[in-house]
Chain A
Amino acid sequence: MIRFDNVSKTYPGSSGGLREVSLHIETGEMAFLTGHSGAGKSTLLKLVGLLERSSRGQVWVNRHNLTRLKSRQIPLLRREVGMIFQDHRLLTDRTVFDNVALPLVVAGVRHQEIRRRVQAALDKVGLLKKARALPLTLSGGEQQRVGIARAVVSKPPVVLADEPTGNLDPDLSREIMNLFQQFNQVGVTLLIATHDLALIEPLGLRTLVLDQGRLVNDSGKP
C-alpha cells in the first residue's frame, strides 16, 4: 500500500529530511513511526500525502507512483489518503459537521450521502451530539476526534496521523489509539507518527524508527 524505494528528501541549507529510506507497508497494516523530533517522521508522512515531493527515489501509494503523478492528480491522491495532524487543522468558523463533510464536498458527493456518512463518522468518534458546535468550543481530545472523523469520512484506504496524541493525556491517547485499531480492523492501512513509546509498546504493532533521516530499525522486517 505504501512503498518507499531509496527515497531521499533534502531541504536546501538544512540537515533535516530523509536519507535513502526504503520501506513497504502492506495493505491493511497498522504501523508506527517513531524517532526524535527532527528525525524525519513528518517529512516521511508529507511525502506519502504529497505535501512534499521526494528529491530522489520513488514513492508508491495505493499503486500510484507519486514521482510521476501530475500536479492536477494530487487532489485525487489526497482523497485516497486521510490525514490527521497534531494541531487538528480544522476550519474554526465552520461547524463540526461542515468540517467533517469537507472531504466529501470537495469530492462532489451528493448532499444526502454527505449527511449520512458524516453522521456515521461522527457517531464512530462519539461526537454526533456536537455536530452543530464550532471546533473551538470543544476540548483538545474532541477536536482531535473531529480531525479523525474528517480523515476517515471518505473511507480512504490509507490514513496518516502525525503526532495525533501529542497534546492529549494518556487516557485520551489510549482512546484515540483504540479508534485507530477499530479502523484497522475494517481494512484501513494506518501509518502513525508518534514519540510516545509508552503508548504504542503495549500494542505490539510494527514500529519503524527514524534517526537523522535514516530508517534505523523496522520491527516488521522478517
Chain B
Amino acid sequence: MSKRQRKARFKRRFSLSGWLVRHAQVFFSSLGRLAQRPLGSFMTLSVLGIAIALPLGLHLLVGNLQQLAGNWDGAASISVFLKDDIGQQQALKLVQILEARPDIGQVEHITPDQAMAEFRQQSGFGSALDLLDHNPLPHVLLVQPADPNAASGKIEALLNDLKNLPEVELALADMQWVERFQGINRILQRIALLLSLLLALAVLLIIGNTIRLEIQSRRDEIEIIKLVGGSNSFVRRPFLYEGFWYGLLGGSIALVLIWLASLSLRGPARRLAELYQSSFQLGGLDLATATTVLGLSMLLGIFGAWLAVNQHLGTTEPGD
C-alpha cells in the first residue's frame, strides 16, 4: 500500500522549440480554417470592419475639427484698433509696452498701409479704393494672450484692460464663436468615446459568438482531443488564434474603409478650405493610430474568443 501511495509524478517535459512549433502550426492552421469557409468569414470580417470603422471615423473627424480649431486659434486673439490720431511711433511704443506684459504672448502690428494692401487684394474693391485721397485705416495690433487656452474670464480681463488704454479706440475678441465650436467638438469627442466603447463591446460579442458557433460545430473533435489527453490550453489555442485573426483582419478592413473614405473626402474638403482661404488639409490615418487600432482589435479578438472558449470548455467533457 505504501508503495502505491507514493506520490506518482507525470512525465512532463517542456521544450521551447516544441512550444514555438506548436504555436506556429496553430497560427497558420487557424488562418487556413477561416479560408476554408470564405463567404462566412468574409461576412463576419466585414461586420467587424464596419463596427471598428465607425468609431475610428468619428475619431478622425474630431481630430480634423480640432486641427481646424487650431488653425482658428487666431480668432482667440484680440484685435486692438488704435485711435485715428495715433502715429507710427506711438503705435510701436505701445507694442513694446504690451509685449512686456506677462499675460500677453505676442503682439502683431498691422500698419494702415499693410491693412490697405491686404484689403485691396482680398476685397476686390481695388479701383474703388484708388478714389480715396488718404488711407482711412487705423493701426491695428493683434494681441495674442500668453496662454491661448486660458479661462475666458482671464481673457475678458485682458480685453477690458486693453479697452481702457488711452490710445485704444476699440478692442474686440471673437471668443464666443471659438468656444462654441470647441464645445461642439468636445461633445463629438465624447460621442466618439462612447461609440468606441459600445462598438468594442459589439466586436467582442461578434467574435465571441462566431467562436462559440465554431466550438459547437467542432464539439466531437474537442471531445476526442480531450479523450486522448489534450489539455484545455491545447483545445483553446486554435480558437484563440482564430479570434486573433478575426480581430486583425477586421481591423485591417476598418483601416481600408477609412482610407477609402478619406480619399473620397479629400477633394471636397480641399475645395471647401480654398473657399475660406484656409490651408487646412484633411488629415488621414497616421501610423500610430493605425497600429493602435490593429492592436486593440487583435486584443478584442483574442479576449472574445477566450470568453467563448472558457464558457464552453467546461461543458464539453468527453464523459457526457
Q: Is the CB of B228 within 8 A of A103?
A: yes
Q: Is the CB of B225 within 8 A of A65?
A: no
Q: Is the CB of A91 within 8 A of B221?
A: yes
Q: Is the CB of B319 within 8 A of A89?
A: no
> CA A52 – CA B227 in complex, angstroms?
12
Residue of B nearest to A93 (CB): B221
0 or 1 for each of B212-234: is its CB under 8 Å from A? (1 = yes) = 00000000110111111111101
Interface centre among A60, A89, A111, by most chain B C-beta atoms within 10 angstroms, is: A89
Q: Is the CB of A76 within 8 A of B4?
A: no
Q: Which residues from A are CB-within-8-Å of B10? A: 64, 73, 76-77, 79-80
A108 interface hit (Cβ, 8 Å): yes
Q: Which residues from B are CB-within-8-Å of A91? A: 220-221, 224
Q: Which residues from B are CB-within-8-Å of A197? A: none
> CA A64 – CA B234 in complex, angstroms?
23
> CA A3 – CA B5 in complex, angstroms?
11
Q: Is the CB of B12 within 8 A of A76?
A: yes
Q: Is the CB of A63 within 8 A of B6?
A: yes
Chain B: interface residue total (CB-CB under 8 A): 27
Interface of A is mostly: mixed
Q: Is the CB of A106 within 8 A of B228?
A: yes
> CA A189 – CA B232 in complex, angstroms?
27
Looking at the assembled complex, report how far the CB atom of B73 sits from the nearest CB atom of chain A, in whole angstroms.
60
A51 interface hit (Cβ, 8 Å): yes
Tell whether A63 pairs with B224 under 8 Å between CB atoms, given A51-B319, A103-B229. Answer: no
> CA A21 – CA B229 in complex, angstroms?
26
0 or 1 for each of B1-15: is its CB under 8 Å from A? (1 = yes) = 000111010101001
Q: Which residues from B are CB-within-8-Å of A72? A: 231-232
Q: Which residues from B are CB-within-8-Å of A111? A: 21
Q: Is the CB of A106 within 8 A of B231?
A: yes
A89-B224, A108-B22, A110-B18 are known; give 6 further A-B pairs, CB within 8 A.
Answer: A72-B232, A75-B231, A80-B10, A90-B224, A103-B228, A111-B21
8 A/B residue pairs, CB under 8 Å, sorted by A: A60-B4, A63-B4, A75-B234, A76-B231, A77-B10, A83-B228, A91-B220, A106-B228
Spell out A's residues near B (CB within 8 Å): 3, 46, 49, 51-52, 60, 62-65, 72-73, 75-80, 83, 89-91, 102-103, 106-108, 110-111, 150, 154
